[in-house]
């Protein structure tokens, strides 16, 4: 049994602190030992359940050196490196890490969240490397009478610089003062003695009240005493104390932050606690001070941010790369919606479109028809009317001066046929502006293609006729056959009828399946 909480509760305390400050993206450094390996194993499991992403997990090898530590810290850094780093390390590695941080000049790049090894006395010249960092350690009240008595006895027995045993030693800050300091708070020693004494007292009262001497020694059997102590609840140094089925105390953890005091020295400041029994975390935000990047004297009340990134905007999905558990935002196409809990894009069916900018649902596209009163329709119809008037005017000019040589030389019949095709194209504008129906859609389809045929068929015939006339003129003064106006109309009409025949076939299937 023990009155100091088991190491597995440290992981819970660290995870609760990370969750409280919304630090969802962290790195982890651990020691290659049973303490470090088991701790980081539990840490990965707990943080994974809480949705906290571990970017990098770095190990401090057994044969640790300053060069190896600098390589580890170099690996830690990167363009997307998290601001918060969890340290699950042995006491001997604390100084090694902080000296590497000092040598590389990166003391303000990271906030350390460490296990209790970080709270057992930092070297005086490295304490400023840890300013702003947090550490969790088993909670125990300060027992002033006990520590004052120990301080008095230690000063009488040992010089201030001598080492002592049993977890008691002169302070590492002996250059500042020579006051007594303890690695393990006195409350734990007192609670351990009280647990044993209270358990023995209950056992004696139950089994052998009034027994003394050898009879008492036989009555207080270790196995039975242990059973009584496991079911024990008593008032300890910081409140009610009890034990779980494993004999581990169910107590509290203290959250400590390293801060610069008014005298310029680094101090341990208790900023909160976590109760293992109720899983309740209490943080005194007014006591927290966070270093401002780029300044060694300015501090802020706002905690730093250590997240994968901002939530993806509407219409985007979360894309996770293989290198890290963090995401990148990728925008879906205009005709796609987000699906699979914002993990994939899904195309809307034909005639459907995303409802709004959130792109989380498709809806059928409502048909929108042009009206003759619309500005676009008014402009288009006005231009079409003017174009048709011009075509009709030119046809009238062709008819009035049909016997003049320039007009006769221009293949007036074919030219008039081309003007007819251009007029049809202009008149189709009114059909396109009308409300769609089967008949209107067929007229638009046929008229659009027919207008081009009425233009290009005569143009092709005219071009071939001129080519044949100039080619035969080199050999003879007589015109080649099939160059008269009637022949030209027949050839052009034949080409147009081929296209019309196709329209008839298309019309049959169009109205059959429409």
Does residue 215 lie within any of the structural domains? no
- Give start and end residues of each alpha helix (H) in 232-341: none
- On whether the CB atoms of residues 304 and 84 are closer than 8 A, the answer is yes
Tell me the range of 214-218, 402-406, 501-505 where mean pLDDT is highest. 214-218
- On whether the CB atoms of residues 398 and 416 are closer than 8 A, the answer is yes
- Rounded Cα gap, residues 142 and 22, in angstroms: 31
- Rounded Cα gap, residues 205 and 457, in angstroms: 121
103-141: pLDDT as tens digits = 888 877 888 999 888 877 677 778 888 888 999 988 887
| Cα–Cα distance list, 102 to 67, 88, 108, 238 (Å) | 13, 20, 10, 37
28 pLDDT tier (thresholds 50, 70, 90): very high
Does residue 428 lie within any of the structural domains? yes
Residue 407 in this model has a pLDDT that exceeds 50: yes
- On whether the CB atoms of residues 353 and 362 are closer than 8 A, the answer is yes
- Among candidates 172, 58, 72, which has minimal Cα distance to 122? 172
Provide the percentage of residues in the chain whose pLDDT is more than 90. Answer: 13
Give the per-residue pLDDT at 94. Answer: 86
Contacts of 152 (CB under 8 A, 6+ apart): none
Q: Same domain for 407 and 499?
A: yes
Does residue 401 lie within any of the structural domains? yes
Q: Same domain for 350 and 432?
A: no
The residue written with tokens 């997240």 in the block is 307
Does residue 463 lie within any of the structural domains? yes
Give the per-residue pLDDT at 176. Answer: 35
283 pLDDT tier (thresholds 50, 70, 90): very high
Beta strands of 277-331 (E only): which ranges? 280-283, 290-291, 299-300, 316-320, 327-331
- Rounded Cα gap, residues 375 and 407, in angstroms: 39
Q: Same domain for 99 and 131?
A: yes
Q: Same domain for 26 and 134?
A: yes
Give the per-residue pLDDT at 164. Answer: 42
Give the per-residue pLDDT at 181. Answer: 53
Q: Same domain for 323 and 466?
A: no
Contacts of 298 (CB under 8 A, 6+ apart): 291, 292
Mean pLDDT of 378-405: 89
Does residue 160 lie within any of the structural domains? no
Give the per-residue pLDDT at 349. Answer: 92
The residue written with tokens 């080519």 in the block is 467
Give the per-residue pLDDT at 413. Answer: 83
- Is 40 or 499 the better-scoring residue by pLDDT? 40
165 pLDDT tier (thresholds 50, 70, 90): very low
Does residue 168 lie within any of the structural domains? no
Where is average pLDDT lowest: 175-179, 264-268, 351-355, 405-409? 175-179
Mean pLDDT of 469-486: 77
**Residue 477 CB neighbour total at 10 angstroms:** 6
- What is the extent of the structural domain holding 484? 375-513
Token output for 56: 């990098």
Q: What is the mean pLDDT of the chain?
A: 83
Where is average pLDDT lowest: 83-97, 154-168, 307-321, 408-422? 154-168
CATH number, position 67: 3.40.50.2300
Mean pLDDT of 291-318: 80
Residue 173 in this model has a pLDDT that exceeds 60: no
- Rounded Cα gap, residues 397 and 378, in angstroms: 29
Q: Please count the structural domains in the chain.
A: 3
344-384: pLDDT as tens digits = 889 999 999 988 777 888 999 988 888 888 888 999 999 99
| Cα–Cα distance list, 417 to 90, 410, 452, 458, 470 (Å) | 98, 12, 11, 7, 23
Q: Same domain for 394 and 262?
A: no
- Rounded Cα gap, residues 178 and 161, in angstroms: 8
- On whether the CB atoms of residues 14 and 113 are closer than 8 A, the answer is yes
Token output for 482: 């099939």
Give the per-residue pLDDT at 386. Answer: 94
Q: Same domain for 358 and 386?
A: no
Give the per-residue pLDDT at 182. Answer: 56
Q: Same domain for 416 and 489?
A: yes
Does residue 243 lie within any of the structural domains? no
- On whether the CB atoms of residues 266 and 131 are closer than 8 A, the answer is yes
SS3 327: strand
Q: Same domain for 45 and 64?
A: yes
Residue 168 in this model has a pLDDT that exceeds 70: no
Where is average pLDDT lowest: 6-15, 112-121, 162-171, 391-400? 162-171
133-161: pLDDT as tens digits = 999 988 887 777 887 887 788 777 766 55
- Domain end, chosen from 280, 309, 338, is at 309
Q: Same domain for 382 and 504?
A: yes
Mean pLDDT of 484-503: 84
Give the per-residue pLDDT at 172. Answer: 39
Does residue 23 lie within any of the structural domains? yes
Start-to-end CA distance of the chain, whole Å, equals: 86
Residue 99 in this model has a pLDDT that exceeds 70: yes
Q: Same domain for 349 and 485?
A: no
Residue 184 in this model has a pLDDT that exceeds 70: no
Q: Same domain for 332 and 402?
A: no
Mean pLDDT of 434-446: 85
């Amino acid at each position: 049994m023990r009155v100091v909480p088991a190491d597995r509760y440290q992981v819970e305390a660290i995870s609760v602190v990370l969750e409280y400050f919304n630090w969802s993206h962290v790195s982890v450094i651990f020691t290659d030992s049973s303490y470090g390996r088991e701790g980081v194993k539990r840490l990965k499991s707990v943080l994974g359940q809480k949705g906290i992403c571990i970017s990098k997990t770095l190990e401090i090898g057994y044969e640790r050196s300053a060069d190896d530590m600098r390589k580890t810290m170099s690996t830690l850094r990167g363009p997307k490196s998290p601001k918060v780093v969890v340290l699950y390390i042995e006491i001997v590695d604390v100084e090694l890490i902080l000296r590497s941080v000092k040598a590389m000049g990166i003391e303000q790049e990271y906030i350390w969240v460490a296990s209790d090894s970080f709270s057992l006395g930092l070297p005086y010249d490295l304490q400023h490397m840890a300013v702003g960092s947090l550490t969790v350690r088993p909670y125990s009240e300060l027992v002033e009478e006990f520590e004052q008595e120990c301080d008095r006895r230690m000063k009488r027995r040992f010089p201030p610089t001598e080492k002592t045993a049993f977890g008691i030693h002169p302070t590492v800050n002996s250059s500042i003062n020579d006051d007594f300091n303890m690695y393990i708070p006195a409350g734990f020693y007192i609670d351990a003695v009280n647990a044993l004494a209270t358990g023995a007292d209950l056992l004696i009262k139950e089994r052998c009240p009034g027994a003394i001497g050898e009879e008492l020694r036989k009555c207080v059997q270790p196995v039975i005493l242990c059973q009584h102590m496991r079911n024990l609840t008593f008032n300890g140094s910081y409140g009610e104390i009890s034990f779980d089925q494993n004999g581990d105390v169910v107590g509290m953890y203290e959250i400590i932050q390293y801060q610069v005091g008014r005298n310029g020295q680094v101090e341990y400041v208790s900023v909160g606690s976590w109760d293992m029994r109720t899983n309740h975390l209490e943080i005194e935000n007014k006591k927290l001070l966070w270093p401002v990047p780029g300044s060694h004297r300015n501090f802020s009340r706002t905690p730093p941010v250590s997240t994968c990134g901002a939530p993806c905007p509407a219409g985007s999905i979360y894309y996770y790369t293989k290198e890290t558990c963090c995401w990148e935002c990728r925008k879906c196409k205009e005709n796609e919606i987000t699906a699979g809990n914002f993990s994939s894009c899904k195309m809307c069916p034909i005639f459907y479109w995303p409802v709004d900018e959130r792109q989380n649902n498709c809806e059928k596209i409502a048909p929108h028809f042009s009206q003759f009163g619309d500005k676009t329709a008014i402009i288009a119809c006005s231009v079409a009317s003017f174009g048709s008037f011009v075509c009709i005017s030119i046809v009238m000019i062709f008819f009035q001066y049909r016997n003049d040589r320039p007009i006769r030389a221009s293949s007036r019949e074919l030219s008039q046929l081309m003007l007819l095709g251009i007029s049809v194209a202009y008149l189709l504008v009114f059909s396109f502006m009308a409300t769609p129906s089967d008949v209107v859609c067929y007229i638009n389809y046929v008229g659009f293609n027919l207008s081009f045929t009425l233009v290009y068929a005569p143009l092709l015939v005219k071009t071939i006729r001129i080519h044949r006339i100039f080619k035969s003129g080199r050999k003879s003064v007589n015109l080649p056959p099939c160059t008269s106006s009637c022949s030209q109309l027949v050839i052009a009409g034949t080409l147009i009828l081929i296209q019309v025949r196709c329209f008839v076939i298309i019309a049959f299937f169009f109205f059959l399946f429409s």
